[in-house]
Amino acid sequence: MKAERIESILATHPFFEGLAAEHLAVVADCATSVRFAAGEKIFHEGEEAQSFYLIRHGRVAIDTHAPQRGGLTVQTIGEGEILGWSWMTPPYRWRFDARAVDLVRAIALDGRCLREKCEADHDLGYELLKRLTLVIVRRLEATRLQLLDIYGHQV
Amino acid sequence: MGSKQLERSDLGALFRELAAEGRTIVGPTVRDGAIVYDEIATDNDLPIGWIDEQSAGSYRLVRSGRDGCFDFVVGPHSWKRFLHPPQVRLWSARREGQRLAIEEAGHESPRYAFIGVRGCELEAIARQDRIFLEGEYVDATYRGNRQDSFLVAVNCGRAGGSCFCVSMGTGPRAGAGYDLALTEVIDEQRHYFLIEAGSESGRALIDRLPVREAGAVELAAASARIEATEASMGRSMETDGLRELLQARATSAQWDEIAKRCLTCANCTMVCPTCFCTTVEDVTDLTGDHAERWRSWDSCFTMDFSWIHGGSVRPSASARYRHWMTHKLSSWIDQFGTSGCVGCGRCITWCPVGIDITEEVRIMREAADREHAAEEGVQ
Amino acid sequence: MAIRSEATGSLSDPMTPRIFVVERFRRELHDTFTLELTPGPGMAPIVYRPGQFNMLYAMGVGEAPISISGDPAQTGQLIHTIRSVGAVTEALGRLRSGDALGLRGPYGRPWPVEAAAGNDVLIIAGGIGLAPLRPAIYCLLAERHRYGRVALLYGARSPREILYRRQLERWRARFDIEVEVTVDRAAPEWRGSVGVVTTLLPRVQFDPDHTTVMICGPEVMMRHVARDLIQRGVAEEQIHLSMERNMKCAIGFCGHCQYGPKFICRDGPVFDFHSIGGLFGVREI
């Protein structure tokens, strides 16, 4: 895929909405287009976290497992959302499994590449961190609500 | 028709005339060391010669040293006991196989005559009228008890230790809503009542009593007595902007301070003449085929009051006191257009730990004023 | 003084239930069931608006406020979906076809289905909260042309606790309503969304300036959904919620259902966020 094409896809993804053109060009250097068939594992718990995914189409399940309970889906991520932040901080390993629920098309940004770009250009690094923090905060809020088990008998 | 005067010795005639109309006469009488409201037959059943000494958390009957019929103020009872009784059977249900039949209780309502209704109590009745008679729905029990009632008001000749009706605009002189209003006057020579009619049936009744036209002397004496009551009232509540004040202070630390004292015993709600909350309970026989539905007074101070599946909405004493006081002094205005408080002071007297609603309002205002001043200072 | 005569209207007590008969009992979920009721002999059918509720009486046990969850256009058919959470609802759950129960109602203010005409409409439900919203959905779909986009966002605890599952599937198959369902927890076999209902909000398109929102679910869920919507630019007046409190009479007499200065029974259960938003942050109100 041509670099300009990736750049324009990045620009239309909500996560990079409004990002400066020069930053987009830098990020595009780390990007490749990927697709996963329904049921395909995107990454496994414990593996090296190599990529940061921008979901363009389809639904991804974040799974874990517990001895007596088998597999558990803790969250799903859909179109326009992002997948994975373990690439950002040491030890750069996934803490959960990710699985394509249906056909998933995404942009994968190489984690090491992104880290190097951010170290080289702190303006880009800060911009990226602000955007990621917003997503992480939102997910944390949602997780807290989920913890409340609000539909149970005891609210 | 001007005001009349009725000699003390002729007060019995009022009872006889009301009884002749087929009325159930209810009035103040001494029982168990308190002045309560109950069915009475003659003027001799009145608490003659008694006064009640009241203060926060304290009530005591003492001899007055004279034979006044209405020298006391208000006791633990109020007229809601008769208009909105503590327990009412609403209906009964019968099951036969899969079928169900429900039959209304259909109570016979007495034709009440209430004797000795104070200004604050007339207002309390008006406030319950608003709830049970003047909304979208009409409460059948209340209407039955209230619709043909005859109210004999008494203008207060003495301010009780917990009274604050003057500041609430409800007394000590009886306002609208009475059939007859009495002012008791005792001077060195005479013991008589100034008697005024407030309705057609009141006027008709006066015509049957051995009254005389009241002169300037009697009118002045009666007015002087009421004015003296007004002047000697020890407590007051500043009502200006109280609705907004309490709305704005829902998270005030003062509620926790009150909760340290409040026992959530519900006394204040039981003695309050306007508190109207009820609960319902089903009573069944052993077969389960007969059930009765009873309604009884309830209190927002209980945990059950706000129970929804899983728990009580107001588990803390602080939230329950806040609910009661805010409802009484603030929410009531939103709901019914007036305050729910008539200044009778019962909640002060009958609170076992002497929480004084007028004092709590004062503290609340001071806290608000301090915060306001601090904000101004910052600016 | 005797009371004014206009206060002496109908003689029957509004606290007395009418007799209705269970036409059909249907189990929905392990703790949730639906009663289809018809008027008992000589009783008139109930005419109601979406969002209203009835007081249902289980013989000898007591009454509970239950929202109506059928289609308001189907007069003569009265549907209540009930979750067993206490003595009364458990007793109602033991009723079967032909059994009688007592009913008073309908009570309360409805969903603003009329006022929403011309707007996009978001229906956001959590758990059993879908039941009081279903009459509104029927009304919206019956006159679909009067509204802009219509979306239903539904959150349940787990896939097996999704209420009205078949109906949700049928609605999802329509082209004129967007249906998004999410669950709080699921096994990997579940092919739908996992996450709380607020996570669905960014996935739907609506015009914040011309959107009416109707929300019903646990209070904590409604609080978060409402705040997210306000952040998206929806006016507080356009966000409607159905509230719940203890209720004994449903006619403003018992005092139990007070929520600040509001009576849930007569001023609600449906409120716009603007009129109660100030109370939402106050604990134990």
- Look at residue A64 and tell me if it is in a domain: yes
Contact B133 C3 (CB under 8 A): yes
Q: From the centroid of its chain, how far is CA B123?
A: 8
Same domain, B262 and B317: yes
What CATH number is associated with residue A95? 2.60.120.10
- Look at residue A67 and tell me if it is in a domain: yes
User: Minimal Cα–Cα distance from B229 to chain C, Å?
Assistant: 25
Task: Residue C156: list chain A partners with CB under 8 A.
Answer: 151
pLDDT in tens, B255-285: 999 999 999 999 999 999 999 999 999 999 9
pLDDT-derived band at B10, boundaries 50, 70, 90: very high
> What's the rounded mean pLDDT across residues B17-21?
96
- Look at residue B54 and tell me if it is in a domain: yes
What CATH number is associated with residue C162? 3.40.50.80
- Look at residue B101 and tell me if it is in a domain: yes
Task: Residue B308: list chain A partners with CB under 8 A.
Answer: none
% pLDDT > 70, chain B: 99
Task: Residue B133: list chain C partners with CB under 8 A.
Answer: 3, 7
Same domain, B90 and B29: yes
Tell me, what's the pLDDT at B227?
96
Same domain, B213 and B93: yes
Same domain, C35 and C95: yes
Same domain, B186 and B264: no
Cα–Cα distance measured from residue C272 to residue A30, given in angstroms and rounded to the nearest whole number? 48
> What's the rounded mean pLDDT across residues B176-183?
97
User: Minimal Cα–Cα distance from C204 to chain B, Å?
Assistant: 33
Residue A152: pLDDT over 80: no
The amino acid present at A109, given as its one-letter code, is: L
- Look at residue C186 and tell me if it is in a domain: yes
% pLDDT > 90, chain B: 93
Asked whether A76 and A101 are in contact (CB, 8 A), the reply is: yes
- Look at residue A15 and tell me if it is in a domain: yes
- Look at residue C30 and tell me if it is in a domain: yes
Q: In the listed set B231, B264, B294, which residue is the last one of a domain according to the structure?
A: B231
Reduced to 3 states (helix: H, G, I; strand: E, B; else coil), residue C224 is helix
Contact B99 C16 (CB under 8 A): no
Same domain, B172 and B272: no
Contact C157 A151 (CB under 8 A): yes
Residue C7: pLDDT over 50: no
Cα–Cα distance measured from residue B288 to residue B285, given in angstroms and rounded to the nearest whole number? 5
pLDDT-derived band at C77, boundaries 50, 70, 90: confident
Query: Quick one: which of B118, B89, B93, B110 has its CA closest to B39?
Result: B110
Q: How many domains would you assign to chain B?
A: 2
- Residue of A101, A146, A151 with shortest CB distance to C218: A151
pLDDT-derived band at B376, boundaries 50, 70, 90: confident
User: Minimal Cα–Cα distance from A129 to chain C, Å?
Assistant: 21
Q: Which domain holds residue B136?
A: 4-231
Same domain, C202 and C235: yes
- Look at residue B47 and tell me if it is in a domain: yes
Mutation site for A-interface testing, chosen from C130, C183, C191, C216 by largest number of A Cβ within 10 Å? C191
- Look at residue B237 and tell me if it is in a domain: no
- Look at residue A39 and tell me if it is in a domain: yes
Residue C279: pLDDT over 50: yes
Tell me, what's the pLDDT at C280?
85
Tell me, what's the pLDDT at C4?
59
Residue C17: pLDDT over 90: yes
Contact C283 B319 (CB under 8 A): yes
Same domain, B247 and B159: no
Contacts for B181 with CB less than 8 Å, ≥ 6 apart: B152, B153, B154, B155, B174, B195, B196, B198
Task: Residue C99: list chain B partners with CB under 8 A.
Answer: 98
Chain B residue at shortest CA distance from A151: B310
Residue C110: pLDDT over 50: yes
Tell me, what's the pLDDT at B4?
96
Q: How many domains would you assign to chain A?
A: 1
- Look at residue C126 and tell me if it is in a domain: yes
Tokens 């306001």 belong to residue: B372
Cα–Cα distance measured from residue B363 to residue B356, given in angstroms and rounded to the nearest whole number? 11
Residues 262-321, chain B, touching C (beta carbon < 8 A): 276-282, 284, 288, 291, 293, 295, 298, 300, 305-310, 313-316, 318-319
Asked whether B332 and B125 are in contact (CB, 8 A), the reply is: no
Task: Residue A153: list chain B partners with CB under 8 A.
Answer: 309-310
Q: Which domain holds residue C33?
A: 18-107
Residue A149: pLDDT over 90: no
Tell me whether C157 touches chain A (CB under 8 Å).
Answer: yes
- Look at residue C253 and tell me if it is in a domain: no
Residue A154: pLDDT over 50: no
- Look at residue B362 and tell me if it is in a domain: yes
Tell me whether C223 touches chain A (CB under 8 Å).
Answer: no
Contact C85 A153 (CB under 8 A): yes
Chains that touch A (3 or more CB pairs under 8 A): B, C
Tell me, what's the pLDDT at A3?
64
Contact C7 B139 (CB under 8 A): no
Same domain, B258 and B154: no
Residue A155: pLDDT over 50: no
Contact C184 A151 (CB under 8 A): yes
> What's the rounded mean pLDDT across residues A100-111?
96
Q: What CA–CA distances, in Å, run from A95 to A53, A91, A92, B132, C181?
A: 15, 10, 9, 63, 26
Contact C15 B295 (CB under 8 A): yes
pLDDT in tens, B312-330: 999 999 999 999 999 999 9
- Look at residue C112 and tell me if it is in a domain: no
Tell me, what's the pLDDT at B379?
62
Q: From the centroid of its chain, how far is CA C224?
A: 18
- Strand segments (E) across A21-126: 31-36, 41-43, 51-57, 60-66, 70-77, 82-83, 97-100, 104-110
pLDDT-derived band at B54, boundaries 50, 70, 90: very high
Residues 77-96, chain B, touching C (beta carbon < 8 A): 90-91, 93, 95
- Look at residue B236 and tell me if it is in a domain: no
> What's the rounded mean pLDDT across residues C202-231?
95
Same domain, C43 and C84: yes
Same domain, C62 and C161: no
pLDDT in tens, A45-100: 999 999 999 999 999 999 998 887 788 999 999 999 999 999 999 999 999 999 99
Mutation site for C-interface testing, chosen from A151, A153, A154 by largest number of C Cβ within 10 Å? A151
Contact B311 A154 (CB under 8 A): yes
Contact A150 C127 (CB under 8 A): yes
User: Minimal Cα–Cα distance from B65 to chain C, Å?
Assistant: 34
Chain C residue at shortest CA distance from B304: C246
Q: In the listed set B231, B253, B277, which residue is the last one of a domain according to the structure?
A: B231
Task: Residue A154: list chain B partners with CB under 8 A.
Answer: 310-311
> What's the rounded mean pLDDT across residues C250-275?
96
What CATH number is associated with residue C94? 2.40.30.10
Same domain, B123 and B60: yes
Same domain, B250 and B225: no
Q: In the listed set B231, B264, B298, which residue is the last one of a domain according to the structure?
A: B231
- Residue of C184, C199, C202 with shortest CB distance to A149: C184
Contact B311 A153 (CB under 8 A): no
Same domain, B224 and B316: no
User: Minimal Cα–Cα distance from B324 to chain A, Å?
Assistant: 25
Task: Residue C228: list chain A partners with CB under 8 A.
Answer: none
User: Minimal Cα–Cα distance from B266 to chain C, Å?
Assistant: 15
- Look at residue B77 and tell me if it is in a domain: yes
Contact C195 A99 (CB under 8 A): no
Same domain, C214 and C126: yes
Asked whether C124 and C225 are in contact (CB, 8 A), the reply is: yes
Q: How many domains would you assign to chain C?
A: 2
Tell me whether B259 touches chain C (CB under 8 Å).
Answer: no
Asked whether B290 and B92 are in contact (CB, 8 A), the reply is: yes
Residue B219: pLDDT over 70: yes
Contacts for B330 with CB less than 8 Å, ≥ 6 apart: B242, B243, B244, B245, B246, B247, C261
Same domain, B39 and B140: yes
Task: Residue B291: list chain C partners with CB under 8 A.
Answer: 59-60
Tell me whether B255 touches chain C (CB under 8 Å).
Answer: no
- Look at residue C140 and tell me if it is in a domain: yes
Chain A residue at shortest CA distance from B311: A154
Task: Residue A79: list chain C partners with CB under 8 A.
Answer: 203
Same domain, B220 and B302: no
pLDDT in tens, B107-134: 889 999 999 999 999 999 999 999 999 9
Give the count of Cβ contacts less than 8 A between chain A and C. Answer: 79
Q: Which domain holds residue A41?
A: 3-147
Asked whether B178 and B155 are in contact (CB, 8 A), the reply is: no
DSSP C209: G
* β partners of residue C150: C121
Asked whether C262 and C253 are in contact (CB, 8 A), the reply is: no
> Side-chain half-sphere of B237: how many Cα atoms within 13 Å?
26
pLDDT in tens, C27-71: 999 999 999 999 998 888 999 999 999 999 999 999 999 999 999
